[in-house]
Amino acid sequence: MSDAWDERRRALEEEYFRKKDQEAVEKLRAQRAAREAQTAPLLCPRCDGTLAEVALEDVLIDRCTKCNGVWLDAGELERLTDHEQPGGWFARIRHALSRD
């Protein structure tokens, strides 16, 4: 009877350590993915060129090194229009986009 209990105890221990190992592996994979995401260059959605950050009016925007397309992240258009004179073309774009 004690052999059955010993086997059960060993099985529970093995299951516990198997779960701990799996959690550690998942954590390492998540850390590696986060590092790769930070170091991987962003690709242009239009031509698959590389996006480079460029400072415009103290706002970092993304510009494609291949097609020269400009891509704005959330809030960047608003920050750019804050720097210009009233009625400028950024403000007109912002106004046109806010109507949609």
Token pair of 45, please? 């959605």
Tokens read off for 59? 């706002």
Q: Radius of gyration over alpha carbons of the chain, in Å?
A: 27
Sorted by where each begins, the domain ranges of the chain are: 1-40, 51-99
Write out pLDDT tens, residues 35-94: 877 776 888 888 888 898 888 878 888 999 999 889 888 888 888 877 777 777 767 777
pTM metric for this prediction = 0.48
Q: Is the pLDDT of residue 100 over 60?
A: no
Q: Name the more confident of 16 and 80.
A: 16
Distance between CA atoms of 78 and 82, rounded to whole angstroms?
Answer: 6
Which three-class secondary structure state does DSSP give residue 50? strand
How far apart are alpha carbons 19 and 22 in whole angstroms?
A: 5
pLDDT at 17: 95
